[in-house]
Structure 1
């Protein structure tokens, strides 16, 4: 049983506190706001520290004039000052938060956008190796961690330290060094205890979170597979597994609760002992007449003010520590350079005629497993070249290299004499239209998915693209027409309908170069005949690379290449390859012999 999800962090992971320095560029954008927020922070702390002083004078005045003549306006004024200081502390704190809000929110926005763009610039291999859910969690936790670090570092840790220094200074000036030493010793012991115990109980917090994720994943997985559970009558079995996960979660939470009790109990003990010691010192001095009753009240108020923010130190330290790890992972994503990058001297691709050449190309996803070996292909401008062969022969790899998802290991790919590594990726991909084997749609309306081929296209152009892709009749049959939502990853549409959307997108994009990667793989025979006609129409006057498994879809190609084990073993027209009675003829017979015998189609039998 796996204890931690892939996005959880090992208990021994130590955060890099230098990460905080990496936040400075996001603060530098709003230097004025940061300075104003810090100024308001100081004012809030001054008001907070001055409040017990006002309380001291109220108590002293009332105590010293007890039984004598009492001027009512004096305590009233002191109470008014006391109230204004209390209000001022709250007001300045709220103003500080309001001023700083723009800084924190803008930092989250900047980082999120930067990571989003960076991930889109990463190579395909990166996304194939990573889990999308894990990436999303890294982004979410990292951006939230930035906000947390900015707020709590500036507005919790710094103010608490500032208040301790102010209080220590007042006690040193007004009273004696004994109070300062007692408070500092108490604070140091409190901080060290909180940090050590928080480090110890972090494992219990992580385990509780992991068990919570595990039980939740179990429940979601079971409910998503509701029909399978019913088919095998396994409701009791699923409930038993879920209860086991809940039991583990219960035990982990219990350990978490008990460790929290140890932390809170220890903190309370330290505070209690410190209060006893310091208040005993104050009581003795009040009894001896060294200090007044108001001084005693002021000391008590300062102790309460100091230890209230310290009470949350364990939580704040743990969360800051976790936020540092989250931000470190986020910055780690940004620190990894894309494997496919534009060179400094790249220039935009200029497509004049559209001739494509694969010149002695070698490629391997892994060094110990070569995929393409000395592949040379020339696609004249406006011609269609089809690549066929068994699964794993390297057909789709050609398309990926052409689109520059990967760079070749040897050789070159040229478009009108320009090595695609010497042109910008943006201009290269703008010139190529792709109809992929597996079309994934956005969870949006059918219209928006169609318009994705060219977001600035007019409605008339989108409708025309749908018509050319033979989607018009289907769309009109839907109650909501073009406003029909296609569902997550387009699951509300059939494979053939999604394929037609992909074709419509390419029609809308209108590129000079085409890649058709198993473009009819999800279609039945009747739909295939209609779509092949549409594909032939859009590939006319365009340089087209077709990756195909169904040989019937490529028989009209200008040239057909047969691949096996990463090499081109045959090339020629459909009839030429059949006449050679080689590998292509074998594939053709396997796919069409039975169908031709049944339908009398002039296919393999006629050839």
Structure 2
């Protein structure tokens, strides 16, 4: 184990030689563009504004040529005033169009980011527990916050700028051809080289970005784990604060190194492009001067206008190439996001799902030859389990650690689907039930309850938002918690703290139980839900649960056997198989597996 733990930590600082495998798994541009489809009307407006802005910019060099070739040589002041005023007017129109374009682009971009965040969150909510047990929470948060956040620059700025620059390049190139095609061809010679270099740099930065986001997710997970309340307590009581600081520093250093590599990769290639682009005006003047000296029809105004168009072409062209690199980088981000969206949904609701009326549900639960394995290639965790739980009865499931008790609870709650057999409520296979109907029938309380960082009342109302104060108090009384809450300075408005650290383990379990009782489920599943309670409180709570006329079916998964003596039947599991069942007295009399468990616990 020591070696495995060391290998795990060392892998977090491994070298960055395996970028390409993940980065090359990027999604197609067609799928990315599909995100923009719902906003094609507003995108069309943006494209129209961009075209208008480019057109106004193209007119300026022609006005400049008219000023140099006609208005100035002839001293025509009225013409000069008209042409100069036109230049100012075009600039004002272009500025106004630019503001409107930025506004519309920002709204479209943020709408797309909102859709993407909600889509990822909704899809993750539909995945089975298998995904979350194998994935660090920090990685999930990083993909929703960091990866999608990094895409905002693309859809709100880069995409609009790239489109505007591309439009300017196309229109400027057309104007240059119309003005003087031979000088235009000289300017176009740089395009093949620049495009090739841009593609190479883009591929490199795409791979680096994919790896960089992986390291950012890992760093986020480290922060979440070590700076939680539990993490702080663990670090300080174990004297490992310095170690965790060094571990975080190493993760941060890796992110910083990749950030530098991402920004500087291919920089010398870009320097070549910059050099060629900067040399183009001088080469154009040289060629234009040679053409004038050789008698070719070439005016100074045409040459100046060509230089102006060239200057107008080169900057947008360079920005288009850089935008291409940014788009390649964002494909790595989309790869990570779509990797989550492509995760198969294991727990689905059938189109013809059955909805049971909670008022008429009896609470009859049956497991019929149930089999399940977490790993399809490994041994089965549950094998051929058949259990019949009559309505209104109390059934306990016990067994040694690793016998499959909690797994059976997961199957009852349909956090996983069985591999074979069936779990039935009132004779209906849980896979045929609507998800809403299942959660309406079944209430689950776990050993490690999750509480929101909110008030007690808000935590209770999470289960039933329309509950009254009287309902809250009744549920708390059943969970033997009302007197404690009422004695607090803020009562039910007391904030429970991060993961409920304001309360003790037993108080958190009772609060979780009260939250579930508030929904009044017909079937109550208690998975080690009273493990932190003292015997007196547990007995009082058990009597309170039994008080409403035994119309609720209770299933208790327990390790502490003193809690199940009064159960109507006790199911004993061993290595995923039912080895005994009966009442406490009958099982003790048989001197089998249950009796041995009781003697060990004594």
* 1:459 to 1:179, Cα distance in 2 relative to 1, 3 A: farther
Q: Measure, in 1, the Cα distance between the counterparts of 2:524 and 2:283.
A: 83
Give the alignment's Cα RMSD to 1 decimal: 3.5
Structure 1: unaligned runs, 5 residues or longer = 593-607
The answer to whether structure 1 residue 270 and structure 2 residue 276 are counterparts is yes
Question: 1:526-565 alignment to 2 at 5 Å?
Answer: 526-537=536-547, 540-565=550-575
* 1:238 to 1:304, Cα distance in 2 relative to 1, 3 A: same
Instruction: Determine the structure 2 residue equivalent to 1:101.
Output: 106
Correspondence for 1:280 among 286, 291, 298: 286
The answer to whether structure 1 residue 341 and structure 2 residue 348 are counterparts is yes
Q: Measure, in 2, the Cα distance between the counterparts of 1:227 and 1:417.
A: 48
Which stretch shows the higher mean deviation, 273-282 or 154-163? Answer: 154-163
Q: CA deviation at 1:168?
A: 2.1
Q: Measure, in 2, the Cα distance between the counterparts of 1:27 and 1:243.
A: 39
Question: 1:73-222 alignment to 2 at 5 Å?
Answer: 73-141=78-146, 143-144=148-149, 147-151=152-156, 154-175=159-180, 177-200=181-204
The answer to whether structure 1 residue 361 and structure 2 residue 367 are counterparts is no
Q: CA deviation at 1:474?
A: 2.6
Q: Measure, in 2, the Cα distance between the counterparts of 1:231 and 1:377.
A: 45
Q: Measure, in 2, the Cα distance between the counterparts of 1:253 and 1:145.
A: 13
* 1:458 to 1:278, Cα distance in 2 relative to 1, 3 A: farther
8 Å contact 1:393–1:564 — kept in the other structure? yes
Correspondence for 1:388 among 380, 387, 398: 398
8 Å contact 2:205–2:325 — kept in the other structure? no
Correspondence for 1:42 among 48, 51, 68: 51
Q: Measure, in 2, the Cα distance between the counterparts of 1:341 and 1:8.
A: 39
Q: CA deviation at 1:203?
A: 6.0
Q: CA deviation at 1:296?
A: 2.6
Deviations 1:343-397 (A, max 9, x none): 3332213553221111222222224311222222111111111111111111112
Q: CA deviation at 1:234?
A: 7.8
* 1:241 to 1:185, Cα distance in 2 relative to 1, 3 A: same
Q: CA deviation at 1:440?
A: 1.0
Q: Measure, in 1, the Cα distance between the counterparts of 2:509 and 2:97.
A: 60
8 Å contact 1:19–1:328 — kept in the other structure? no
Which stretch shows the higher mean deviation, 81-90 or 151-160? Answer: 151-160
Q: Measure, in 2, the Cα distance between the counterparts of 1:282 and 1:55.
A: 17
8 Å contact 1:437–1:519 — kept in the other structure? yes
Q: Measure, in 2, the Cα distance between the counterparts of 1:241 and 1:94.
A: 46
Q: CA deviation at 1:41?
A: 1.3
Q: CA deviation at 1:61?
A: 4.2
8 Å contact 2:396–2:569 — kept in the other structure? yes
8 Å contact 2:527–2:557 — kept in the other structure? yes
Q: Measure, in 2, the Cα distance between the counterparts of 1:479 and 1:417.
A: 48
Correspondence for 2:576 among 566, 574, 598: 566
Q: CA deviation at 1:400?
A: 1.2
Q: Measure, in 2, the Cα distance between the counterparts of 1:31 and 1:257.
A: 32
Instruction: Determine the structure 2 residue equivalent to 1:423.
Output: 433
8 Å contact 1:198–1:263 — kept in the other structure? no
Q: CA deviation at 1:220?
A: 8.7
Q: CA deviation at 1:265?
A: 2.1
* 1:262 to 1:492, Cα distance in 2 relative to 1, 3 A: farther
| Partner SS state of residue 190, structure 2 | helix
Q: CA deviation at 1:470?
A: 2.4
* 1:91 to 1:6, Cα distance in 2 relative to 1, 3 A: farther
* 1:240 to 1:373, Cα distance in 2 relative to 1, 3 A: closer
Instruction: Determine the structure 1 residue equivalent to 2:509.
Output: 499
Q: CA deviation at 1:311?
A: 3.3
8 Å contact 2:166–2:316 — kept in the other structure? no
* 1:141 to 1:279, Cα distance in 2 relative to 1, 3 A: farther
Instruction: Determine the structure 2 residue equivalent to 1:296.
Output: 303
Deviations 1:180-234 (A, max 9, x none): 2222221332222233234346666777777888889889988777777777888
Q: Measure, in 2, the Cα distance between the counterparts of 1:28 and 1:232.
A: 54
Q: CA deviation at 1:404?
A: 1.4
* 1:19 to 1:457, Cα distance in 2 relative to 1, 3 A: farther
Aligned residue pair count: 587
Which stretch shows the higher mean deviation, 109-118 or 133-142? Answer: 133-142
Q: Measure, in 1, the Cα distance between the counterparts of 2:251 and 2:148.
A: 30
Instruction: Determine the structure 2 residue equivalent to 1:11.
Output: 20
8 Å contact 1:201–1:259 — kept in the other structure? yes
* 1:151 to 1:454, Cα distance in 2 relative to 1, 3 A: same
* 1:472 to 1:383, Cα distance in 2 relative to 1, 3 A: same
Deviations 1:101-125 (A, max 9, x none): 3332222222322222221111111
8 Å contact 2:147–2:333 — kept in the other structure? yes
Q: CA deviation at 1:434?
A: 0.7
* 1:297 to 1:476, Cα distance in 2 relative to 1, 3 A: farther
Q: CA deviation at 1:140?
A: 3.4
Deviations 1:498-555 (A, max 9, x none): 1111111111111111101111112234443443334444793111111011112111
